[in-house]
């Protein structure tokens, strides 16, 4: 596990303890039950991919540990509408505060500004965070294999499914894939392949392409990180990958929605 990931997870354990002090599980479950019905995150991607189009999860991200501040003029509601107009199938919202300058309020604002399904992108290690995600209105949650044991992954996945949340399980390498297979969450969960190396933060699309032949049958694959040009999209589509998570390259543009539209139209 990389040093930065361990640092983040230590902070998450503190946040879970604080969340437990603030809310009982019963109170959070009541809030989750009162939230709007999930919008169908996986289904939105599946419908777009089935029509032969690139299904993009457009990311709303203010900063990252490796790149620092990405976008100073940060308005999650405007960004959500801009992405929706640009052809996004879904949205990814960073809610981690300390390392990515995110906030739960960003998810609420973005989801309220458009009709797209949203994923809570954070480092989730406890079922209470999954319940909180549904209470916030999330339609999907991210589970990072490198941050969890197979037992934890299975437990968190089951919690999400019980709350009618979709799940995107993220892997970075073959070892992560083995853990996910051991957890038994495929093919029910979406499988995200992150092209960014957790230790060096370098990106290579070869990560997705090298792992594709190893995947179990029926996996719905999302390629993540390093998608910056139309040629990157075309290369993945040629390999049979139609689902994308794209953030930084779009967030740096004056209009991320216009940038997304250009990326999808330029083939």
**Which of the residues are catalytic?**
59, 61, 121, 170, 194, 224-225
N-terminal to C-terminal alpha carbon distance within the chain: 38
On whether the CB atoms of residues 135 and 163 are closer than 8 A, the answer is no
Positive or negative, the CA dihedral 261, 192, 161, 147 is negative
On whether the CB atoms of residues 91 and 117 are closer than 8 A, the answer is yes
CA distances from 146 to 1, 58, 161, 180, 267 (A): 7, 23, 21, 10, 34
- What single-letter DSSP state applies at residue 32? H
What element of type H or E holds 224?
Answer: strand 221-224
Could you tell me how far CA 201 lies from the centroid of its own chain? 17
On whether the CB atoms of residues 106 and 119 are closer than 8 A, the answer is no
On whether the CB atoms of residues 125 and 151 are closer than 8 A, the answer is no
**CA-wise closest residue to 141 among 57, 69, 211, 24:** 57
Please identify which residue in the block is written with the tokens 């960073």.
Answer: 94
Write out the two tokens for 223. 């390629």
Q: How many CA atoms lie within 13 Å of 90's alpha carbon, on the beta-carbon side?
A: 33
């Amino acid at each position: 596990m990389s040093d930065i990931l361990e640092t983040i997870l230590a902070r998450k354990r503190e946040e879970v303890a604080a969340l437990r002090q603030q809310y009982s599980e019963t109170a959070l479950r009541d809030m989750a039950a009162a939230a709007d019905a999930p919008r169908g995150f996986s289904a939105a991607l599946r419908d777009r991919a089935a029509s032969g189009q690139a299904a993009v999860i457009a990311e709303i991200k203010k900063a990252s540990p490796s790149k620092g501040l990405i976008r100073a003029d940060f308005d999650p509601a405007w960004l959500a509408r801009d992405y929706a107009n640009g052809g996004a199938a879904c949205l990814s919202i960073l809610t981690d505060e300390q390392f990515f300058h995110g906030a739960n309020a960003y998810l609420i604002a973005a989801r309220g500004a458009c009709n797209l399904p949203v994923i809570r992108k954070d480092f989730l290690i406890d079922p209470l965070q999954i319940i909180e995600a549904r209470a916030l209105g999330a339609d999907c949650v991210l589970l990072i294999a490198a941050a969890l044991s197979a037992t934890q992954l299975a437990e968190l996945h089951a919690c999400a499914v019980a709350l009618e949340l979709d799940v995107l399980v993220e892997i970075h390498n073959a070892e992560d894939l083995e853990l996910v297979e051991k957890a038994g969450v495929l093919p029910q969960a979406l499988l995200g392949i992150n092209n960014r190396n957790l230790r060096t933060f370098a990106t290579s699309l070869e990560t997705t392409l090298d792992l594709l032949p190893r995947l179990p049958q029926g996996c719905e694959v999302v390629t993540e990180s390093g998608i910056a040009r139309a040629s990157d999209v075309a290369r993945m589509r040629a390999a049979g990958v139609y689902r994308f998570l794209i953030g930084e390259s779009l967030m740096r543009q004056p209009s991320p929605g216009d940038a997304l539209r250009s990326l999808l139209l330029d083939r």
